[in-house]
Structure 1
Amino acid sequence: MAYSEIDAIRALLGSKPRPVGWSERRQRLDEVGSTWPVAPDVTCEAIDCDGVPGEWSAVPGSELSRVLLYFHGGGYCSGSIVSHRRLVTEAGRAARMRTLAIDYRLAPEHPYPAAHEDALTAWRFLRRQGVAATSIAVGGDSAGGNLTLALINRLRALGEPLPACAWLVSPWTDLTMSGRTLATKDAVDPLIHKTYLAELADAYAPASIDRRDPLISPLFADLAGLPPVLIQVGSAETLLADAVRLAEAAGSADVDVTLQIWPHMIHAWPVWNANLEDGRRALACAGQFICTHIR
């Protein structure tokens, strides 16, 4: 059943040609990401996080003192609260806590380090609301997974308290694009290809920036001291090697890391959880992981 469901998602993604312009790409991701709306019992509220747009969400029974801070994917150039609302709100349900989704600034209009600055601003906004660091989980998919790691590494360097745990879905961890599966999975990945990633990387981190910088490519960071990390990735992703190598590096640094490789799944598949059983199962696993580590 799950395999036929993922075929339907593949058909949805391939139903229109890939857009060319940035605004068209953003519109398309919002469109496919919001194909299925949020559940009727979800409450959403727009919030200004000290100049960075955000959105609270909760369902009945959510523990309001605990928060999932979430950064959407989209290669740092697209994606939004709209495109990822269904994913974020259902992740909050699974973790039994409220969520704070962030609309960080996008490249190429706002290249590195704009998104990093917005992530740190959102974190500090949340802390000033009285939420303890140990009551916060930070998560993201694709570029949002990259941004999650970058935020934690910045907090660690600043000597600030770290979140209780990190949740990464299909993380883009290597902007030098040296992962082997960029070639070996190219034929089965309907979304992410090396030439496309190169365009995104050029927009986000111009050639003058060293893309091996740990804040650009967290795969190359010193990962020692990170909180527990859950990495979820699909077997049909060109970014599979980014996730596997990150898990290996984190484990070698004595980080409590869990790597889940989901058969047949494509990039950021939990986005379509409303019509994809494996998307719902992935969120349930993430919710259990977060609940285990949140105080």
Structure 2
Amino acid sequence: MHRIRIMTDSTSDLPDSFVQEHHIAVIPLYVNFNDRVFRDGVDLNPEQLYQTVAETDVFPKTSSPSPSDFLARFTPAIEAGDDILFIGISSRLSSTIQNARIAASEFEDHRIEVIDSLNLSAGIGILVMKAVMLLQEESLSLSQLADRIRTLVPKVRTYFAVDTLEYLHRGGRCSAMENLVGSMLRIRPILEVVEGQIIVNRKVRGKREKLMNEMLELFRHDHPYIVASPVVVNQSMCAEDAQKLSQQILDLMPEATITLTQAGCVICSHCGPKTFSIVFLRP
């Protein structure tokens, strides 16, 4: 049985320490500022992204890795004798999965499994974490591991709170009127990933503390059904809020294993600063 190499894309927002420890291959998406193109997490970090927006008033656009990008990462692993499990951003949000499948079709059957996470950010990352855990606990073939991860895809719950509508507006995910009214009334949405797409779960008006309380209430509602390990709290430029939220989760669920992560440039491009999320699995 071949060794299994786990790969993902840069929107999975995994901690660098986890990526390095478990030899996860991360394939970057692209962030574009007019004619300048950067690889997410390679040529550009979130601090630089927000600084560029502040200095130029140009908002970034994002694009997927091409099939040739995937071929460049798949080929050395296959030639080294590895099988590949790739878990990527929702096919309903990006062409990343489609391009990965095009590249995978260039190799013999059963050497590469491409899994559509139907999620984004830490919602992908939590599936990667579970894949690593399963390989540590059991001796699985590639197809067995892929089947196990696919059964988890609909069990991932991803909620994220956005502090400003400006990035969603510039990215085409809310209208100019929604952005104007939301800004005037200080409305901050809590978004949810459902069947691979982003929907508004609720709109919170008022102080940021209320937004955090509403996020915690969503977790409290699901608490009886949550798998304790892992729970992921992801953030963009609001580390203190993420720490506070993590402690509140532990107060509710002391047995939880919480992983703190930072959003990468692609997620930051669409959600903006001071975004935070809670991701967990239901049985």
- Both structures adopt the same fold (TM-score exceeding 0.5): no
Q: TM-score, normalized by length of structure 1? A: 0.33
Please state which structure has a larger fraction of its residues in strand. Answer: 2
Higher relative contact order (CA 8 A, sep 6+): 2
Task: State the structure with more CA Rg.
Answer: 2
Q: TM-score, normalized by length of structure 2? A: 0.34
